[in-house]
Structure 1
Amino acid sequence: MSRLLFVDTETTGLTYDDRVITLGMVALDLDALKDGRDAVQLSHLIFNPGRPSNPFAAAVHGYQDWVLTSQPRFAVHAEEILPAFTEADQVLAHNAAFDERFLRTEFRMAGYELPASRFDCTLKAYKRKHQRPGGLDKVLEHMGLSARGKQHGALEDAWFCMLAWLWLNDLEAPAAPAALTHPPSNWVEPGLPPIRGARKPLVARY
Structure 2
Amino acid sequence: MAGKTPRHLLFVDVETTGLTYDDRVITLGAVELDIEALQDGADCTNTGHLIFNPGRKSNPFAAAVHGYDDWTLTFQPDFSTHADEIIAPFQRADKVIAHNAAFDERFVRGEFSLCGHTLGPARFDCSMRRYKTKYSRPGGLDKVLAHMGHRGRGKQHGALEDAWLCMRVWLWLHGLPVPEAPDHLLHPPSNWVEPEMKPLRGARKAYGW
Q: Smaller-chain TM-score range? A: over 0.9
Matched residues in 2 for 1:52 and 1:194: separation? 18
Match of 1:135 in 2: 140
Q: Which runs of 5+ in 1 are unaligned?
A: 200-206
Match of 1:168 in 2: 173
Task: Confirm whether residue 188 of structure 1 aligns to residue 188 of structure 2.
Answer: no
Q: Which runs of 5+ in 2 are unaligned?
A: 1-5, 205-209
Q: Match for 2:184: what amino acid?
A: A
Task: Confirm whether residue 51 of structure 1 aligns to residue 56 of structure 2.
Answer: yes
Matched residues in 1 for 2:61 and 2:203: separation? 26
Match of 1:77 in 2: 82
Match of 1:145 in 2: 150
Matched residues in 1 for 2:199 and 2:34: separation? 45
1:194 deviates by 2.9
Q: Match for 1:84: what amino acid?
A: P
Pick from 31, 38, 45 the counterpart of residue 43 of structure 2: 38
- State, as a whole percentage, how many aligned pairs show the same letter: 67
In the alignment, is the contact (CA less than 8 A) between 1:96 and 1:119 conserved in 2? yes
Normalized against structure 1, the TM-score is what?
Answer: 0.95
In the alignment, is the contact (CA less than 8 A) between 2:96 and 2:122 conserved in 1? no
| 1:45-124 aligned within 5 A | 45-124=50-129
Matched residues in 2 for 1:79 and 1:45: separation? 13
* Matched residue SS, 1:8: strand
Matched residues in 1 for 2:27 and 2:50: separation? 6
In the alignment, is the contact (CA less than 8 A) between 1:66 and 1:194 conserved in 2? no
* Matched residue SS, 2:109: helix
Aligned length: 200
1:181 deviates by 1.7
Normalized against structure 2, the TM-score is what?
Answer: 0.93
* Matched residue SS, 2:46: strand
1:80 deviates by 1.1
Q: Which runs of 4+ in 1 moved over 4 A?
A: none
Task: Confirm whether residue 157 of structure 1 aligns to residue 185 of structure 2.
Answer: no
* Matched residue SS, 1:139: helix
Match of 1:29 in 2: 34
In the alignment, is the contact (CA less than 8 A) between 2:33 and 2:45 conserved in 1? yes
1:80-105 deviation line (CA, Å, top 9, x unaligned): 11110011000000000000000000
Matched residues in 2 for 1:197 and 1:74: separation? 34
* Matched residue SS, 1:7: strand
Matched residues in 1 for 2:25 and 2:202: separation? 29
